[in-house]
Amino acid sequence: MVASNTLLWVLVLALTVMVLALARQIGVLNDRVAPAGALTPTGGPKIGETTNAVQVRDLSGTDVTIGGEGKDLTTLLMFVSPTCPVCKTLVPTAMSLAKYEGFHLLFASDGDSIDAHRSYIKDMGIDEDRYVLSEALGMEYRVSKLPFAVLIDSDGTLASLGLVNTREHLESLVEAMRTGVATIQEYVGSYVPEPAKEA
Amino acid sequence: MDPLVTAVIAFGFAVLFGTAAMTKLRDFERFRSALRNYALFPSSLEPLVSVMIVFVEIVLAMGWLLGFYMAPTAIASALLLGLYGAGMATNLVRARSYIDCGCGRAEQPLSWALVVRNALYMTAALAVLIPANERTLGWFDMGLATFALLILVLMERTAMALLANMSQTAAWRT
């Protein structure tokens, strides 16, 4: 009796461990197969058009102009919030990507108290002059969900923008700027197959 | 009710509150910002409330472990879990589901599943108030309790992993 009972308990325990391992593996799989491009909003400024200059103030108190003509660096604008869990994981990613690509990186946010933003940038290791607070900026690019990234080319044209959740999404924005094709849908739409050769 | 069930519940809650307090202490700043994001009380009270929550959780873990004041411990635990549930429900109604629930090692958005989880925990805590029958626990019972506890802990982790998967795929449907 005791032996069979113990055996059952051991088997149930082993099964539970396996179920946990499976659940974890599904999580890893989900991570791998996540949608591979940034989600671009349909409204708002068009890709390829010159962006409007927006005056904002960073946390160190300096006025900065975002967008408009006459910038010599490509600007990566990341919309984040201290209350958004995904943003936290994407801040270091955006930093490393901007460093690698040589982009001018700016973080934008609004709402919450100034103290919340200050403790947030301290936690994330963001410089004061790289963090701007502006509601107008979010309205300009129709930011509805965070984290949201906007890539402005060195000549001031809007290169790409969209909701980003992973490094792949961010890289898809860079890719969209390089190739000049905004989305995979646009690419497929413009693809004209070569006429089949007659045998 | 069989004293074995009571023992499993008691040790289970000792583990639950113990790990909860440890996780909060290990990254106290993260816990504080999670608490702030719940936006349930003036931010001036936040330093006091954050310390109090950790303190209460440690006291409850000790209470369950030692088992001297089972009834008050059970009622206090149910109250605390109810408060957490109410806090989460409030923010879900406010449509602030994007904030970190602060309920595990990894960050996770709020969901009604977490509120249901808390309700289940409350039921389990209050179940020890049902009078136990007189039966002394032998070594075999202790073995059973250990296995049951291990399985419960693993099942809780599995449920949380599945919940994390759910919120992960939910983010795709924007």
Q: Any CB–CB contact under 8 A between B172 and chain A?
A: yes
Match 């270091």 to its residue by tokens.
Answer: A92
- DSSP assigned state of A169: H
66-125 in chain B: CB under 8 A from chain A: 96, 98-100, 107-109
Residue of A16, A116, A145 with shortest CB distance to B154: A16
SS3 call for A75 = strand
For residue B98, the chain A residue with the least C-alpha distance is: A84
CA within 13 Å, CB half, A19: 17
pTM assigned to the model? 0.66
**Whether residue B34 has pLDDT greater than 80:** yes
Q: Is the ipTM of this complex over 0.85?
A: no
The vertex-A125 CA angle with A94 and A135, nearest 5°, equals 65
Count CB neighbours of B34 within 10 A: 20
Which pLDDT does position A169 carry in this prediction? 83
Interacting residues of B12 by C-beta distance below 8 A, sequence separation 6+: B124, B149, B152, B153
B150/A85 Cβ within 8 A: no
Which pLDDT does position A197 carry in this prediction? 63
- For residue A170, give how far its alpha carbon lies from the nearest alpha carbon of chain B (Å): 15
**Whether residue A181 has pLDDT greater than 80:** no
Q: E strand or H helix at A100, and its extent?
A: helix A85-101
pLDDT band at A84 (very low <50, low <70, confident <90, very high): confident
- For residue B88, give how far its alpha carbon lies from the nearest alpha carbon of chain A (Å): 15
Q: Any CB–CB contact under 8 A between A26 and chain B?
A: yes
- For residue B172, give how far its alpha carbon lies from the nearest alpha carbon of chain A (Å): 7
Report percent pLDDT > 70 for chain A.
88
Residue of A19, A30, A163 with shortest CB distance to B165: A30
Question: What span, in angstroms and rounded, lies between the C-alpha atoms of A14 and A9?
Answer: 9
Q: Any CB–CB contact under 8 A between B36 and chain A?
A: yes
What does the block give as tokens for A176?
A: 């969209």
Match 């583990």 to its residue by tokens.
Answer: B15
